Amino acid sequence: MRIQVAMTTLIATALTAVTIGAQTSSQATIPVYLDQTKSIEERVEDALSRMTTQEKVALLHAQSKFNSPGVKRLGIPEVWTDDGPHGVRPEVLWDEWDQAGWTNDSCVAFPALTCLAASWNPEMAYLYGKSVGEEARYRNKQVLLGPGVNIYRTPLNGRNFEYMGEDPYLASIMVVPYIHGLQSNGVAACVKHYALNNQEVNRHTTNVNVDDRTLYELYLPAFKAAVQQGGAWTIMGAYNLYQDQHNCHNDVMLNKILRDEWGFDGAVVSDWGGTHDTREAITNGLDMEFGSWTDGLANGRSNAYDNYYLAQPYLDLIASGEVGTEELDQKARRVLRLIMRTSMNPNRPWGSMLSPEHYAAAREIGDQGIVLLKNDGHCLPISGEPKKILVVGENAVKMMTVGGGSSSLKVQREVSPLDGIRAAAPEGCQVAYARGYVGDVGGEYNGVVTGQDLSESRSAAELIAEAVAQAKDADYVIFIGGLNKASGQDCEDSDRESLDLPYGQDAVIEALAQANPRLVVVNVSGNAVAMPWVAQVPSVVQAWFLGSEAGNSIADVLFGKVNPSGKLPMTFPVKLTDVAAHSFGPETYPGVPRNDGSNIVDETYTEGLYIGYKWNDKQHITPLFPFGHGLSYTDFAYGKPTADKKELHEGETITFTVPVTNTGAVAGDEIVQLYITDEKSSLDRPYKELKGFKKVHLEPGETQQVAITIEPDALAFFDADQHAWVVEPGDFKAHVAASADDVKSTLSFKYK
Ligand code: BGC
C-alpha cells in the first residue's frame, strides 16, 4: 500500500512536469520509463539502461515470503505476489508463513477450479478471473499465483481440486478467459505448475519420463493456450524434474518450448523452494526466485534472501567473470515488463473486495459447476411440502476454505451446506442434523482458524445409530460428506491413499439407504471417490469445494432454484485399478527411487495418451460416471446432426449442427460435446478426443440448433519424429455427445 502511494505520487509528479512542460518546453525532464505515452518496451529498455548490476540482480529474487524488490532509487515498485487461485490469501509475516494479523485481508472465496471446469462455461471463467482479480487488485497484488492447469492423471493427486480436469481441450478453453478476466485488472496470472506436476507425493524429487507426443498432446496444451491465447504475464515452474532437470530451471521446458516455440514474453516464477542451482537458473530461463530454503542452502534459516541462487551467488559469478550479463539483462527486462504491465500501468482499474457482485459471481459459478450424477425416480429436486429434512455428515458443517495448502483462505464468510439448506427450506419444514461420522476436527492453516469446535466423543456406531433413528421419519435425507482439506485428502503436499471415501462414510451411507429411500448423497471433493453404495442411493450430487457461497449453491440445486447443469471434467472410476496410472505398477505411480545416491524418484507415464476416457475407450472399461457426464431436472432430446460439408480442406472450417430440444417442464442448460475419431492414422490414436463443446440454455419445449465449428487443427496429432503437429488426409468421425459415454450420433467426413 505504502509503495503504491509513493509510486502514484511519483508518476503524478512526472505527469505534472509534462503538462507544465507543454508550456515551458521542459518536456525532456520526464524519464522515458515513466512516460505513459511511450510503449512498454521503450519504457523497459529505458529503465534497464539506468540500472546497476546489483539492482538488476535484486529484481530476480524474493525479499520476503511473497514479494520481490523493485528499484528504490528509480521509484520502480516492488512486486507483490499472492496465492491463488480461488481467492486472495491473507497477509503473512514478512519472513514467516504465519499470519501478519491484518484485519483487512478477509476475502471472498470462489469455487475451486474443478468446479469452474465442471461448468464448461467460458463466460464463468472470465467472470471468475475478473472477480478474483478485482480482489487481488484492491489488495495491491501484482501477481496472483494461479490458475492451475495440471492434468488430472490420478484421482489420488491431493491438488486436483486446484486444476481443471483430465482433458487438455477443456482445460485450454477454460483457462484463457480466466486469464483475460484476471489480467484486465492489471494483475498478472501465474499459470502453474509448469509442467508435469500431476501428483503431490514426491513432488520435489519426481523425475517424469514421458514421451514427446504425450507431453505435447496431453500435458502442455493448457499451458500453451494460457501463454498464446491467454497472454499470461507469468508462469510458475513446477517442483518436479523432467529429463533430470528441475522444472524451475529446465532447458527444454523453459528455453526451448516456452520461449522458443511459444514465444512467451513474460516472467518465469519459481515455485516456492523450487530453485536448486544458480548456473541452471541463469541459463535455463528462470526470472524470479521465491521461497528458496537458503542459509547456505539448507532448509530453515530466515531472512537469508541474499543467499538465494539468483542473489549473491549470481553476483559472485558475474564478478569473477564466469558468467556474463546477457541473461541478466533478459531476466531484468522480463521483470520490468511485468512491472510495467501491472503496478506501473496507471490506467489499470482500482479493484474491489467483498462486493455483492463477487459473492454473486461465486454463487453463480458454484450453481453452474455442481454436477447431478444420478437422480433415479426424480428424487431431486426436493419437492412437495416436506415436514422434515435430515442432513447428515461432517461436510454439512465443516468450513472448507481453510486448509488444503497454499490455496487456503481467510474468508469474510462461508455459508455451510447446513445453513444454506436451512435458509432455503420451505416454511414449517424442520431441518434436523446428525453428524454421521467424524472426519477431520482440525480447523487451522498457517494461523487462520475456523473457530469451529468439531470435537465429538461418540463412537462411530453411536453416530450411525443416531442418524438412522432420525432418518426414519424424514421426508428427505441429505448426506453431505466426501473429502476435506486435511493432509492426505484434497490437500497440497500429500496424495490420498485410496479412492475410497474416508472416515467410514460408506457404512453411514449404506445404513441411511436402508433407513430411508429418499436419500441424496452430496459429495464434496475435488476428486473422484469410489461409491460402492451407488445402486442403493437414488440421487448423487458432486458439489466440489464451493467457497464462500457453498451452502447457498448446494441449496439452490437441491431445492431446484437452479437446474443443475455442470458436467464432470474428469472420469469417476469404479476402482483405482481402472485408472491408467495405477495399472502398470509403481513405475507409473508413485515412482521408484533411483538408488544412485540421489533423492530422485523416477516415474514413467507408460500409459502415454491414454488417461481418463481415452483409457476407458481403449480398455473397454465402464466407469462409475464418465467424463462429461451430468444430469438435469429436465430432459434433452438430440435430433439428427448435419455437417456443412463432407470434405474439409486446409484453411477451412467445418461446422456440425445438432438440434437439441428441452423436452421437460423446466428450463435447463445442456452441454453438447463434440468428439473426433481419426479412422486410420499412421500413429496409434485415442479412439476419440474432445474437440468442441457448447453450453446452451433451453426453455421448456424450446429447440436450438447447436453449432460447433472446428478447424483442421482439431484433427492433428503431434508427430515426435517430425517434432510437428500433423493432420493426415483421410476419414474422420464427429461424435455429437452428452458425455464421453453417451454419444448421440456420429457423422463421417474427410480431410483432404
Ligand atoms: C505451491 C504453489 C504456491 C506457492 C506459494 C507452493 O508450495 O506449490 O502453488 O503458489 O507455494 O504459496
User: In this predicted model, what pLDDT tens digit does every residue of 318-360 receive, in sequence order?
Assistant: 999 999 999 999 999 999 999 999 999 999 999 999 999 999 9
Q: Residue 302's pLDDT is what?
A: 53
Ligand 1: distance of its center to the CA of 493 in Å? 10
Answer yes or no: is the C-beta of 272 below 6 A from any ligand 1 atom.
yes
Of 612, 577, 602, 585, nearest to 219 (Cα)? 612
445 has pLDDT over 90: yes
Answer yes or no: is the C-beta of 145 below 6 A from any ligand 1 atom.
yes
Identify the residue whose C-alpha is closest to ligand 1 atom 6: 272
Tens-digit pLDDT profile for residues 530-581: 999 999 999 999 999 999 999 999 999 999 999 999 999 999 999 999 999 9
Answer yes or no: is the C-beta of 192 below 6 A from any ligand 1 atom.
yes
User: Backbone phi, then psi, for 400, in 5-degree steps?
Assistant: -110, 0
Of 523, 142, 132, nearest to 359 (Cα)? 132
2 has pLDDT over 60: no
Tens-digit pLDDT profile for residues 206-252: 999 999 999 999 999 999 999 999 999 999 999 999 999 999 999 99
Answer yes or no: is the C-beta of 525 below 6 A from any ligand 1 atom.
no
Tens-digit pLDDT profile for residues 459-483: 999 999 999 999 999 999 999 999 9
Q: Residue 29's pLDDT is what?
A: 87
Tens-digit pLDDT profile for residues 73-118: 999 999 999 999 999 999 999 888 899 999 999 999 999 999 999 9
Q: Residue 298's pLDDT is what?
A: 53
Answer yes or no: is the C-beta of 200 below 6 A from any ligand 1 atom.
no
Tens-digit pLDDT profile for residues 360-402: 999 999 999 999 999 999 999 999 999 999 999 999 999 999 9
Ligand 1: distance of its center to the CA of 137 in Å? 20
- Helix (H) or strand (E) run with residue 587 in it: none
Hunting for cell 482439506 — which residue is that? 485
Q: Residue 96's pLDDT is what?
A: 85
Please give the Cα distance from 504 to 483 (Å, whole number). 12
Establish whether the linkage from the previous residue to 147 is cis, with ω within 30° of 0: yes
Atom of ligand 1 at shortest distance to CA of 83? 10
Identify the residue whose C-alpha is closest to ligand 1 atom 11: 272
Q: Residue 303's pLDDT is what?
A: 59
Share of the chain above pLDDT 90, in %: 93
Atom of ligand 1 at shortest distance to CA of 406? 12
Q: Is the dihedral of CA 438, 116, 164, 112 positive or negative?
A: negative
Confidence tier at 588 by pLDDT (50, 70, 90): very high
Tens-digit pLDDT profile for residues 403-425: 999 999 999 999 999 999 999 99
Please give the Cα distance from 642 to 288 (Å, whole number). 51
Please give the Cα distance from 588 to 580 (Å, whole number). 9
Q: Residue 652's pLDDT is what?
A: 98
Contacts with 27 (C-beta within 8 Å, 6 or more apart), sequence order: 17, 18, 21
Task: Tell me the Cα Rg of the chain.
Answer: 27
pTM score, whole prediction: 0.95
Establish whether the linkage from the previous residue to 564 is cis, with ω within 30° of 0: no
Task: State which of 66, 144, 145 you would mutate to test the pocket of ligand 1, scoring each by most atoms of that ligand within 8 A of its C-beta.
Answer: 145
Tens-digit pLDDT profile for residues 611-669: 999 999 999 999 999 999 999 999 999 999 999 999 999 999 999 999 999 999 999 99
Q: Indicate the average pLDDT of the chain.
A: 95
Q: Residue 3's pLDDT is what?
A: 36
Which residue type, as a one-letter code, is found at position 291? G
Atom of ligand 1 at shortest distance to CA of 192? 9
Answer yes or no: is the C-beta of 84 below 6 A from any ligand 1 atom.
yes
Answer yes or no: is the C-beta of 83 below 6 A from any ligand 1 atom.
yes
- Helix (H) or strand (E) run with residue 724 in it: strand 724-726
Please give the Cα distance from 715 to 685 (Å, whole number). 11
Q: Is 713 a catalytic residue?
A: no
> What is the DSSP code (8-state) at residue 323?
S
Cβ(554)–Cβ(396) below 8 Å: no
Count the helix, strand and coil residues of the chain and give each as a percent rounded to the nearest 5: 30, 20, 45
Please give the Cα distance from 752 to 747 (Å, whole number). 16
Task: State which of 271, 407, 408, 446 you would mutate to test the pocket of ligand 1, scoring each by most atoms of that ligand within 8 A of its C-beta.
Answer: 271
Cβ(278)–Cβ(309) below 8 Å: yes
User: Backbone phi, then psi, for 186, in 5-degree steps?
Assistant: 75, 25
Ligand 1: distance of its center to the CA of 67 in Å? 13
> What is the DSSP code (8-state) at residue 251?
I
Ligand 1: distance of its center to the CA of 271 in Å? 6
Strands (E), 121-184: 143-145
Which residue type, as a one-letter code, is found at position 687? Y
Answer yes or no: is the C-beta of 410 below 6 A from any ligand 1 atom.
no
Please give the Cα distance from 340 to 361 (Å, whole number). 29
Answer yes or no: is the C-beta of 271 below 6 A from any ligand 1 atom.
yes
Cβ(499)–Cβ(522) below 8 Å: no
Three-class secondary structure of residue 522 per DSSP: strand
Ligand 1: distance of its center to the CA of 434 in Å? 36
Active-site residue, selected from the candidate residues 167, 271, 367, 495: 271
Task: State which of 191, 235, 406 you would mutate to test the pocket of ligand 1, scoring each by most atoms of that ligand within 8 A of its C-beta.
Answer: 406
Hunting for cell 476419440 — which residue is that? 688
Tens-digit pLDDT profile for residues 12-26: 434 333 443 344 444
Identify the residue whose C-alpha is closest to ligand 1 atom 3: 406
Please give the Cα distance from 406 to 409 (Å, whole number). 8
Contacts with 73 (C-beta within 8 Å, 6 or more apart), sequence order: 55
139 has pLDDT over 60: yes
